[in-house]
Amino acid sequence: GQYGLPASYSNVVLYYNKNLFDAAGLPYPDDTMDWATFMAYNKQLTQDTNGDGTIDIFGTSRLWWPYYMLLTGATPFNADATQCTLTDQAAIDGFQAMVDLTLTDKVAPSANDLAAQDDWHMFEAGRIAMYPIGPWSITEFNEVITDFDWDATTLPAGPTGKKVTFLFGNAYSVLSSSKQQEAAFEFMKFVTGPEGDQIRQDSGFEIAPIKSVAEGSFLKAMEGKKPTNAAAFLDSAAFAESVPTHARWSEIADAISAQLDSALLGDITVPVAMQNACDTINPILAESN
């Protein structure tokens, strides 16, 4: 087996542009927001400001595709990783919700929109009202965003009522073949302890895995910075989930991404995309067992 000491974690919350909400006369989103409210806000916040037929401000932006799988409780393969399960209704429903944001409801940027300006910079420019992102954005957004006020809340509950966010974890390990195992372990003890954790989280990139440090020093380090509700990151840890792992995950993820890209362009339906993905993934799983 492979083991490591936890170094840090990060997750995803929902940033929102307070100026756009104020202009639309909408209350700010909070941790009670459900999918219906989220979508209603998106539709009211999406605007063609100059009447040229092109959307200038979007309600939201799509998250990385595994989020929509987690949102409906779907998995890419079964428990023993022998069969692709993306054709299950839960997976189709989750990915349909993702595709609908762009193709049906038109409240999130399309592939063409993102080719012109990615969603990170669109939020900085005031062109996205609700932006799902993690703590790695804190430093730059505090430096760059000067034209509007913004804050954060947890991600909304999904179409089925499930509330979820990503959990990204990092760990330190020592190779069994290392010639400096004792020195490496001493360093690991320091960097994963309270002092080392504090140094890491002061960078505004990730969050300490030690609960007492995260609940105290992380929030203290955020004083005077945005988001004011930095506690949303800590609150989100309670319902954070990781993407399933597999030795050939990169190939599996590429197969899913390629098919979803086609679905997002409107070239194929979500059910067809998932069947195509499974046609690629099942041989990978068979070769791995």
Per residue in 79-93, pLDDT (tens digit) is 999 999 999 999 999
Q: Is the pLDDT of residue 127 over 90?
A: yes
pLDDT at 208: 83
pTM here is 0.93
**Nearest-angstrom CA–CA distance, 21 and 195:** 40
- What are the structural domains of the chain? 1-61+108-244 (3.40.190.10), 71-107+248-289 (no CATH)
10 bridge partner residues: 168
User: What is the per-residue pLDDT across 150-189, written as a single tens digit (0 to 9) for each?
Assistant: 999 999 999 999 999 999 988 999 999 999 999 999 999 9
Q: Is the pLDDT of residue 203 over 80?
A: no
Q: Is the pLDDT of residue 233 over 80?
A: yes
H helices present in the chain, as ranges: 18-24, 35-45, 66-71, 89-103, 111-116, 119-124, 138-144, 181-191, 194-201, 211-213, 219-221, 231-236, 249-264, 270-288
Tokens of 186: 């001493």
Residues in contact with 208: Cβ distance below 8 Å, sequence separation at least 6, in sequence order: 8, 197, 198, 200, 201, 214, 217, 218
Residues in contact with 250: Cβ distance below 8 Å, sequence separation at least 6, in sequence order: none
